[in-house]
Structure formats: structure tokens, C-alpha cells
Amino acid sequence: MCGIVGYIGEQRASPILLEGLRRLEYRGYDSAGIATLDGNFIIKKGVGRIGKLNDSLKFTDMEGNIGIGHTRWATHGSVTEENSHPHWSCKAEVVLVHNGIVENYTKLREFLISRNHKFSSQTDSEIIAHLLEEAISSHADIKSAILSVVGSLGGSYAFLAMIKEQPDLLIAVRKDAPLVLGIANNSHFVSSDVLSFIDKTNQAIFLDNKEIAFISRNKVQIFDFTGKSIQKKTTTLAWEISDVSKKEYLHFTLKEIHEQPISVRQALAQNEKEVKEIGEILRKTKNVFITGCGTSYHASLLLKYLLAKNLRVRADVFLSSEIDQQKDLIDSDSVVLAVSQSGETADVLNAVAIAKQRGARILSIVNVMGSSLARESYKTLYTHCGPEVGVAATKSFSAQLSVMFLIVVAAAKGSPKDLLALQYHIRDVLATEETVRTISEKYIGANDFYFVGRGDNYPIALEGALKLKELSYVHAEGMAAGELKHGTLALIEQGTPVLLLNPPDETYLPTLNSALELKARGAKIIGISTKRDPCYDDFVPLPAISSTYLFPIVEVVPLQMLAYFTALGRKLDPDYPRNLAKSVTVV
Ligand code: F6R
């Protein structure tokens, strides 16, 4: 979703902002823009991708050592140049970029119209620029002006503002949307994600909710929303996370699929004591809840199964956006384990905030260090899979599952030795790439796809269907194999492709029976298993793994590849699927 960058220092701001925005492209956007201040404001913005916009608008010609930039993912107002950021105030005294939603914007707009403000966009964001201009005219100093603005804004937001009369000041405000400062010599960076400045500095200050930063070339002052000064700790970031290039791959998605042998190994390299502690908490707590969205929800569902089967721990899993239906069950005897790649998904953060209010203890499995979810948690295990740039979650999913397996194995007092072999199993299954590509070509014209699995393989079936939907825009459904006969069989026609997850675990024979039922109704069966059954029309071999409980992590890889190749076959960009954003920061 919307991405924000800011720079103040001794260099020209525009090339730094442009590069920063490029590094935020993964979040998903439809328009972009940059503003610099060089005596007067210069703003360039438009609809489309940053590279194309730069060709026509020449962002890097913009002068000035201070500036802000933005990638917009439309919420209020359609995708137009006027609605893209940065926004001006009427008298061009304030220029601003914003991420989030101003909930009371209609009321604020009416107030500003009554004060003769004229708007040039339909966005809620522009309101903030006008409010700040209005407040500056009626307050003694900038600090009291900004405090009055945040006092009147409802909703969630992060914004950056520049004021014409203050060429050595960037104002950064955070409430329920991420914002982090990069600290370097005589220069400062601000962004929604450390990725946009990690190549320049590894010193970061993470703003917390309801904090305001006044950033000049040589100093940073931070206040809370009451105006109280706050001392913040500077975090040293790991340089490895700066690796956001595609390397030899055509797309980030493909690169990230191929990174899984390494990312799984990294995910498994956890502190043993912390893993055990989390296992113990889950084992001893009366009410265990697991929550997440999308892919992270599928991982959560698998953890529920693992806890039940291996530890006899009962856990409720809920989609974070469904917290209202769960909240009455959550109390001070509860633990809520939240799973999120970004750690910034608004639905997850909202569920966690409600669970906390009700006295629950929050645990989390997160990829992005210093993210809001990690900061809200009592304990976090990081997945350490590096930046995931492709919009579709791939390596973060296998990393989440790896951490989950580690927790369960440790709590069951098993040996994590088998888990260490995962990297080799994934390497083996990646070698089936050409087979998967051929299968994707064979079914390129299919409008519906079904993914079927039992037990631990069911969450993987859901995940396979989600991947295909989001990357190739083909309708897909993940089904528990035993459920087919309760309705979905009616949809099976001559030639309908069904991908069958059939590893040699206790689900093997009943799943094969489901395949026969499907085949009798005309389905084409794509079997994913260690051995080829005659009923499979197509077959992707899985490596032989003696610890069969590991199959879910391995078998998801061909599903990711299938989605990727189907997207390519349909001439779609798998890295940036339409209508989707990587980090969903609105509820
Ligand atoms: C699917 C996908 C999304 C995310 C979901 C949660 O490929 O990427 O469904 O899984 O938006 O995101 P996180 O894990 O960042 O909370």
C-alpha cells in the first residue's frame, strides 16, 4: 500500500527519493510523485510506474536538498494525477504525503471549505495539508500547530510534511501506520520501510504510534501527541536486508521461490531457549488463539493442526479481520499468536490491539524486524527470510511453517535434526520446475482450478489456490479432500484441472479415493506425490522424505511455481498483481 519516503541532508534529494520509492514498489501502487523544496516547492507526480514516470517527468532534474516522495494505492478518489501525492495546501505553504485513512475527512473538509480552502483532489490526504496551513496561521509555533492537527485527525495515518518557510525541517507523524527514520551524518531519511534507505545507513529510529518527529539536517526531536519530548533508542539494522535486487532472475517472485532452501535454513536458526519458551507458553495457556491474514492465515491453520496432533494443545484459529466474532472468548487466560510477514497488516494489528485490551498475551511470528506487530508482542520469533518483494508471499510462508515446526518439535521434545534436511528437500523439489512449467502450459486455458488435500495438506491446498488466484487471476479453490462430496463435486466437468496433494502420509489412501471420485466425473488430476499413481493425468514428483510431517513445506513449492508460470503464460506480471498491495495497512 502507500509508501512514503523523505530526505533532508547535503545531497540533492530527488535521486535519493526516486531510489527510495523504487525500493518501496513491492508494496503495490498505482501512482507516484516527489516534491522538493528549493526556495519554492517543486512537485512532479502522475499515474503509473515510477520508471515510466521518471522517463516523462524527469524527477531527477528537481533541485533541493530536502524532499518527500510517495507511491499511492488508491483508497479515497480514483487513480488520477490530481489524487496522487504530494499534495499542496492552498497557499502552497505546506506540501505533504500521507499513508492511511483520515476517517473524519468529510467533517474536516466542510470545516476547511468554510474557511475558504480550495481543494484540487478528492483525497482525504489533501485535507491534512490544508489543516496544517490553517493551524500554522493560528498558532504561535509549528509544534503547537502540528499538535492541533493531530488532535483533530481521526483514523490511521503516517504523514510527512514540508513547510515553505522552514527549509531545514521535515515533519514526520505516525499513528497506526509505519514510519521509520534513517540516521546518517548530516542527513536523515524517513520511510514506511527501512528497505528504502538501508543502502545509505543502517542506523534507524522506529517511530511508535502517536509520535511526531521534527527532522532537520543535524538533529531529530521526537514528541508524543501531548507535546512531551521522547528519547528514542537507535536500532542497528542488519545490512543483509538491503539485498533487494532480482539477481539473475526475471522476477522477484521467482527469485524468492528459489531462495527457499536458504530462507528455510535461516528461519530454522532460532535461539533454542526462545523457541522452547514459546512452546511452553502455548502448552500451558488455557486459551490459545492463532491469527493472521491471507497466506499467514494458512500458516496459522497448519499450526493449529500441528499443536493438536503433536502437543494435544487446542487452539482456535481466526482470520484477523474476524476478530469481532472471537473477541468475547479472549481474556487474561489467553495467548494470541499473530503471524505476519510484514508485521504491518492493519487487520492483524487491530486484532492484536483488541486482544491486548482484553488482557491476552501477544506472541508473534514476523519477518520484518522492528515492525509494529513485533513491537506490540510480548515475544516474537523472526522468520529471517530477508525482504520479500514479490507481492505474493512465497518464501515467507515456508519460513513461517519452519518456525512453527521448530516450536512444535521443541515442545514435543523431539529432535530438530530432520528439519535441517528441509533445505535439501526443497532444492530437490525446485528441480521439478520444467515439469511444473509444462503442466502450467497444458492448463493455461482453464478458468477454474481446484486444489485438494487432507489433514496438514489442506492448508497447503488453500495456499496453492490463493497463489494461483492472485498471480494468474484464475478462479481457484482449495478444498479439504473429504469435503468434495459435500458440494464441490457438482462443479467438476470434463477436463476440470484438480491438483491433488498426496504425499505418502496417513492421508494418502483416502486422498487417492477422492482422486478416483474426481476422475470418474471428468477431472484431470495433477498428482503431487512421491510415486505416480495411474489415475494421475499429470505428475509432479516429491522427494522421498522419511519424516513425512515435513511434506507441507516441501509440497507448497510446486504450487508457487505453478502460479508463477501460469501468470507468465497469461502475460501477467507476477511481481505486481493487479489490485493488490504487499503490505495491507488499512482495515
Ligand atoms: C498472499 C499474500 C497476502 C498476505 C496477507 C497478510 O500471497 O501475500 O495474502 O499473506 O496480506 O500479510 P502479512 O503476512 O504481511 O500480514
Same domain for 205 and 271, yes or no, is: no
Between the CA of residue 162 and those of 87, 157, 401, what are the distances in Å? 11, 16, 43
Same domain for 320 and 301, yes or no, is: yes
Same domain for 138 and 45, yes or no, is: yes
**At 477, which CATH number?**
3.40.50.10490
> Domain ends where: 206, 221, 242?
242
Same domain for 305 and 345, yes or no, is: yes
Same domain for 233 and 253, yes or no, is: no
Ligand 1 atom nearest to CA at 293? 6
Asked, for residue 330, whether it belongs to a domain, the answer is yes
Tally of structural domains, the chain: 3
Asked, for residue 561, whether it belongs to a domain, the answer is yes
Ligand 1 atom nearest to CA at 373? 16
Give the closest residue (by CA) to ligand 1 atom 7.
392
Same domain for 261 and 294, yes or no, is: yes
Same domain for 356 and 273, yes or no, is: yes
For residue 197, how far is its CA from the centre of ligand 1 (angstroms)?
23
**Strand 31-38 versus strand 66-72 pairing type:** antiparallel
Strand partners, 183: 188
Give the separation between CA 388 and CA 200, rounded to whole angstroms: 20
> Domain ends where: 390, 420, 450?
420
Strand partners, 215: 170, 220
Amino acid making up residue 414:
G
Are 213 and 204 contacting, i.e. CB atoms less than 8 angstroms apart?
no
- Expressed in percent and rounded to 5, the helix, strand and coil fractions of the chain are 40, 25, 35
Give the closest residue (by CA) to ligand 1 atom 4.
294
For residue 296, how far is its CA from the centre of ligand 1 (angstroms)?
6
Q: What is the DSSP string of 445-460?
A: T-SEEEEEE-TTHHHH
pLDDT, one tens digit for every residue, the chain (587 residues) = 789 999 999 999 999 999 999 988 877 788 999 999 999 999 999 999 898 899 999 998 999 999 999 999 887 778 888 999 999 998 899 999 999 889 998 999 999 999 999 999 989 899 999 999 999 999 999 999 999 999 999 988 999 999 999 999 999 999 988 899 999 989 999 999 888 998 899 899 999 999 999 999 999 999 999 999 999 999 887 655 556 778 889 999 999 999 999 999 999 999 999 999 999 999 999 999 999 999 999 999 999 999 999 999 999 999 999 999 999 999 999 999 999 999 999 999 999 999 999 999 999 999 988 888 998 999 999 999 988 989 999 999 999 999 999 999 999 988 888 899 999 999 999 999 999 999 999 999 999 999 999 999 999 999 999 999 999 999 999 999 999 999 999 999 999 999 999 999 999 999 999 999 999 999 999 999 999 999 999 999 999 999 999 999 999 999 999 999 999 999 999 998 887 777 676 66
156 CB contacts (<8 Å, ≥6 apart)? 100, 101, 175, 176, 177, 346, 585, 586, 587
**Strand 524-529 versus strand 497-501 pairing type:** parallel
Give the closest residue (by CA) to ligand 1 atom 6.
293
Active site positions, annotated: 2, 582
**460 CB-contact burial (10 Å; exposed 0-12 / middle 13-18 / buried 19+):** buried
Same domain for 35 and 158, yes or no, is: yes
Asked, for residue 580, whether it belongs to a domain, the answer is no
Give the separation between CA 354 and CA 176, rounded to whole angstroms: 14
Same domain for 205 and 250, yes or no, is: no
Cα 402–chain centre separation? 18
- Phi first, then psi: give them for residue 405, nearest 5 degrees: -60, -40
Same domain for 355 and 273, yes or no, is: yes
Give the closest residue (by CA) to ligand 1 atom 3.
294
Same domain for 163 and 286, yes or no, is: no
Ligand 1 atom nearest to CA at 582? 8
Give the separation between CA 331 and CA 335, rounded to whole angstroms: 9
pLDDT at 455: 97
pLDDT at 241: 55
Strand partners, 69: 5, 34
Asked, for residue 586, whether it belongs to a domain, the answer is no
Q: Is 480 helix (H, G, I), strand (E, B) or coil?
A: strand
Asked, for residue 113, whether it belongs to a domain, the answer is yes
pLDDT at 195: 86
C-alpha cell at 246: 532480482
Which of 146, 134, 201, 141 is closest to 175 using CA atoms?
146
Tell me the residue range of the domain where 336 lies.
246-420
> Domain ends where: 392, 420, 448?
420
Asked, for residue 583, whether it belongs to a domain, the answer is no
Report how many helices (DSSP H) and strands (DSSP E) the chain contains, helices first.
Answer: 19, 24
Instruction: Please state the pTM of the whole predicted model.
Output: 0.81
**At 224, which CATH number?**
3.60.20.10
Are 538 and 524 contacting, i.e. CB atoms less than 8 angstroms apart?
yes
pLDDT at 243: 64
Asked, for residue 581, whether it belongs to a domain, the answer is no
Cα 194–chain centre separation? 14
Give the separation between CA 496 and CA 548, rounded to whole angstroms: 29
Q: Among 73, 341, 564, which residue has the most ligand 1 atoms within 8 Å of its CB, making it the best to mutate?
A: 341
Same domain for 497 and 353, yes or no, is: no
For residue 547, how far is its CA from the centre of ligand 1 (angstroms)?
28
Asked, for residue 427, whether it belongs to a domain, the answer is no
Are 214 and 220 contacting, i.e. CB atoms less than 8 angstroms apart?
yes
> Which protein residues are within 6 Å of ligand 1, measured from CB?
293-296, 340-342, 345, 348, 392-393, 466, 470, 584
Give the separation between CA 537 and CA 539, rounded to whole angstroms: 7
